[in-house]
Homo-oligomer: A and B are copies of this chain.
Amino acid sequence: MKAHNILLLIFIALCQPAVQHAFLNRFYRSYHEQLRTQIESHSAKYKYEIKTIDMPVDHFSFSVLDTFKLRYLLNNTWQKTKDAPIFFYTGNEGNIETFAQNTGFMWDIAPEFGALLVFAEHRYYGESMPYSNKSYADLSHLGYLTSQQALDDYVDLIQYLRSKPEYKHSPVIVFGGSYGGMLSAWIRIKYPHIVQGAIASSAPILQFSGVTECEAFLRIVTSDFKTAHPNCPKLIRKSWNVIYNITSDDKGKKWLSDNWKLCQPLKNTSDVKQLISYLEDIYTNLAVVNYPYEANFLAPLPAYPVNAVCKRLTNQSLAGIELLTAIHEAISIFTNHTNETKCLDLNDSTPELGAVGWSFQACTEMVMPICSDGVNDMFEPRPWNLDEYTKDCVKQYSVKPQPNLVCEQYGCKDLSTATNIIFSNGLMDPWSSGGVLRNLSSSAIAVVIPESAHHLDLRSSDANDPYSVVLARKYHRFFIRKWIEEYRDKNKNY
């Protein structure tokens, strides 16, 4: 799902505090541009009513009594009976239409379950702005952008739906991918009396300090490239020094700027570093969306785009200018699959609220360390530096990141009491580094999908889906049915 990918941006935020916002914005813009296209093209298939519900800005005090309109989408096409199951998407960092349009799995299975579909927008994203155009103005307005407050929005919305006679005994199954999957898991963990089960796809709830090694994420990216071709990550690793060497003089900078068709020619070391980050982001994005069919995500991409990239990076002897030419050709899979890109723009910084929202969350609760050593991964070595990261967050938002908050609030190490959750993770997905890959209990279960990238299982069924994804979706349906039946059994006397 497109928007989930934004989690990726944490990676950028974490590795390059100084330049994080330019990058966040670049991806966000291209991402939102793509989205508009997608929504139009899908709109015939996925239809919904757009609704709003009044929501307290602060669920945890009686000092702030402001309310706002939280947006949600509703489809009752397949709902046949009273107390129909409610399939509820716990929206994450973006416009809720995005998630409705990119969670085909919910639409695919709604008819078989006769389910009501609900997609709830995450506060401070899309049009669900607690303080309208002042929501991002300062900390006093922005500070209610937290996962706990968002969970309580969803609890309130579910309780509102259930307050209607026709949904009084409706079982509620939540779905989410990436950060949305984290929210799905957490809402079941914290509110098991309200939510009967959760499909948490590619939810890196363990990507936090003291739980997951920060190196893991980029090693998986590297492994994806290695699987495509053993020489591919070696050549990419080799390319960093080649770039530094060639751009060490003006002639080299000009050569690279011209031959790579950069929109702004390289002028100094900072530009070169930015180019390298740009490349690293592309490689990471490619791994995240390494889907088995042509898709339009962050950029229009062919099936298995990592393979497509690595097909051009097989010759171990490539070096110098030849290597850079090959790299440029390879990344054009990402930057210019449609042959319409005139130049590579490393410096796009149009502000985009959604990106700032996530960047704020990454500066408060969602501190997910990612680092590289340049030996076991193909990236430039970058240690995880909380001090630098903190400095940047204080500068940007006047907040200090709280790296222990998530594990304190929701649990990381001891989740053995969790029930009725499927944690699905694609092993090709770098975010599986922080995913739950082992069963937590007899009903909080890990579904490992060897051939899947980022929450492919939540996307609409496709003829090119690998069998492991088909199987995972069967698993999901089996457990959803089980959770619904258990709930009905328990409530049959009402």
Interface residue ranges, A against B (CB under 8 Å): 58-65, 139-146, 148-149, 155-156, 159, 190-194, 364, 399, 404, 407-408, 410-417, 419, 490
Partner of A63, one of B142, B156, B404, B415: B142
> Which of A59, A61, A63, A146: most chain B CB closer than 10 A?
A61
> Among the listed B143, B193, B416, which residue makes an inter-chain contact with A415, where contact means beta carbons less than 8 Å apart?
B193
- Cross-chain contact of A62 among B65, B142, B408, B416 (Cβ < 8 A): B142
Give Cα distance in the complex from A146 to B64, angstroms.
13
Contacts of A155 in B (CB 8 A): 408
Tell me the complex Cα distance, A156–B62, Å.
21
What residues of B have a CB within 8 angstroms of the CB of A60 in the complex? 58-61, 146, 148-149
Contact of A417 among B61, B159, B192, B410 (CB under 8 A): B192
Of all chain B residues, the one with the shortest Cβ separation from A414 is B193
Indicate if the CB atoms of A404 and B159 lie closer than 8 Å: yes
Report whether A408 and B192 are in contact in the complex, using a CB–CB cutoff of 8 Å.
no
In the A-B complex, the 5 residue pairs with the closest CB atoms? A63-B143, A193-B411, A62-B143, A60-B60, A193-B414
A141 touches B63 (CB 8 A): yes
Bound CA–CA A404/B158 (angstroms): 13
Of A156, A193, A412, chain B has the most CB atoms within 10 Å of the CB of A193
- What's the least CB distance linking A157 to chain B, in Å? 12
Q: Shortest Cβ distance from A285 into chain B, in angstroms? A: 29
Q: How far is the CB of A61 from chain B (nearest CB, A)?
A: 4
CB contacts (< 8 Å) of A141 on chain B: these are 63
| Chain B hits for A148, CB < 8 A | 60
Cβ A194 vs Cβ B143 within 8 A: no
Q: Does A412 contact B193, Cβ atoms closer than 8 Å?
A: yes
A164 vs chain B, min Cβ distance (A): 15
Q: Which residue of B lies closest to A159 (CB)?
A: B408
Q: Report the nearest B residue to A148, measured CB to CB.
A: B60
Minimum Cβ distance to chain B for residue A169 (Å): 11
Report yes or no: A399 in contact with B62, Cβ–Cβ below 8 A: yes
Contact among B62, B149, B490 with A61 in the assembled complex (CB-CB below 8 Å): B149
Minimum CB–CB distance from A367 to chain B (whole Å) comes to 13
Question: Which residues of the other chain, B, contact A64 by a CB distance below 8 angstroms?
Answer: 61, 63, 143
Is there an interface contact between B192 and A61, defined as CB atoms closer than 8 Å? no
29 A/B residue pairs, CB under 8 Å, sorted by A: A60-B60, A60-B146, A60-B148, A61-B64, A61-B144, A61-B146, A61-B149, A62-B142, A62-B143, A62-B144, A62-B145, A62-B146, A62-B364, A62-B399, A63-B140, A63-B142, A63-B143, A63-B144, A65-B139, A155-B408, A159-B404, A190-B190, A192-B414, A193-B412, A194-B411, A414-B490, A416-B490, A417-B417, A417-B419
